[in-house]
Amino acid sequence: MKLVLFDCDGTLVDSQHVIVAAMTRAFARAELALPPREAVLGIVGLSLVEAMRRLGDDDPHFPAERLADLYREAFRELRTEPGFFEPLFPGVRGVLDKLSAREDVLLGIATGKSQRGVAAVLGHHGLDGRFVTIQTADDAPSKPHPAMVLQAMAATGVHAEDTVLIGDTSFDMVMARAAGARAIGVTWGYHPRETLRQSGAERLVSDADTLVGVIDEMWEPVA
């Protein structure tokens, strides 16, 4: 059996508009200057408090916990407002359909989102039940700690060499490799190709329609 683990934000769904909007509200309510958009998108994928710490340059006096609370509150509000949703990236539904139909593949998620956040995304897109293991910031240390991948492998009984993580950031690549798993970087998310390559991506994919083929090539026995 093979295990294909997906990151969520920047890999399955394009959440940048709602993330930037929630960050803007959180920093405004804390009366702090919002960091540049590139900095905000650069921390997507980390758990919330860890993400805020990085935005505060690891300054111990930076109110990371309070900002995380303000962000959660803003995100909850935004979800109820029209116009804020997290669309699937082009081709992603086709990838999930193809992989779900395979008897040799299990699907999972490893994300800095909460269980509640993942459930909202999957429900919105009619993807409930596709993923046999969902690892989140609620249950494990922030990426790039390998715990989410290790827990997903333990939950499914799949070995590291048969596990591949698909993600858009260096945090994903480092996490996967630290767990002994394979790593594929997708270039439609929030970190540049070079960052993905340098952090351990074995392959880079820029078109979702080619992803299943790349996964299969990766698992072909070396002649």
Q: Which residues pair with 167 in a beta bridge?
A: 185
Is 168 a known active-site residue? no
Number of residues interacting with Mg ion: please give it, by CB under 5 A. 6
Residues 26-45 touching Mg ion, rule: CB under 5 A, are: 45
Is 69 a known active-site residue? no
DSSP 9: B
Stretch that binds Mg ion, among 3-11, 51-59, 73-81, 196-204 (CB under 5 A): 3-11
7 makes contact with Mg ion (CB under 5 A): yes
Residue of 7, 14, 162, 172 marked catalytic? 7
| Contacting residue, 168, 185, 186, 201, with Mg ion by CB under 5 A | 168
Which residue's CB comes closest to Mg ion?
A: 10
| Contacting residue, 4, 9, 105, 135, with Mg ion by CB under 5 A | 9
Say which residue the tokens 């959180």 belong to: 26
Question: Is the Cβ of residue 14 or residue 59 nearer to Mg ion in the bound state?
Answer: 14
Question: Is the Cβ of residue 1 or residue 90 nearer to Mg ion in the bound state?
Answer: 90
50 makes contact with Mg ion (CB under 5 A): no
> How far apart are alpha carbons 11 and 166 in whole angstroms?
7
Residue 31 CB, nearest approach to Mg ion (Å): 29
Q: Which residues pair with 105 in a beta bridge?
A: 2
Stretch that binds Mg ion, among 71-79, 89-97, 124-132, 163-171 (CB under 5 A): 163-171
Residue 48 CB, nearest approach to Mg ion (Å): 14
Neighbours of 70 (CB within 10 A): 21
Question: Is the Cβ of residue 17 or residue 66 nearer to Mg ion in the bound state?
Answer: 17
Residue 8 CB, nearest approach to Mg ion (Å): 7
- Residues with active-site annotation: 7, 9
